[in-house]
């Protein structure tokens, strides 16, 4: 379960709507792998405008392409 899924589950338990990220700009550090990659993909799928940063540029480009393919967003 990722952090985003946990927040949604927690909000449903306490009866509050989870925060929507559609159209919001989110900067994700460490986005080339692990938790950062998973969060980047989930936020891209829900329509967030994501800014990705990481030290490994090859992996970061791969994550960027996957996020763009799954989100329908453009490269702006």
- Domain residue spans of the chain: 21-76
The pLDDT score that the predictor gives to residue 14 is: 66
Tens-place pLDDT, residues 47-61: 889 999 999 999 999
Query: pTM (2 decimals)?
Result: 0.72
**CA 31-34-35 angle, 5° bins:** 75
Helices (H), 1-49: 3-14, 34-45
What gap in Å lies between CA 40 and CA 29, rounded to an integer? 9
Tens-place pLDDT, residues 29-42: 999 999 899 999 98
């Amino acid at each position: 379960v990722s952090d985003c899924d946990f927040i949604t589950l927690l909000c449903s338990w306490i009866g509050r709507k989870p925060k929507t990220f559609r159209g919001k700009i989110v900067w994700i550090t460490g986005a080339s792998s692990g938790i950062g990659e998973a969060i980047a993909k989930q936020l891209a799928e829900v329509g967030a405008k994501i800014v990705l940063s990481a030290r490994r540029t090859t992996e970061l480009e791969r994550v960027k392409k996957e996020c763009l393919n799954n989100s329908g967003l453009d490269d702006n």
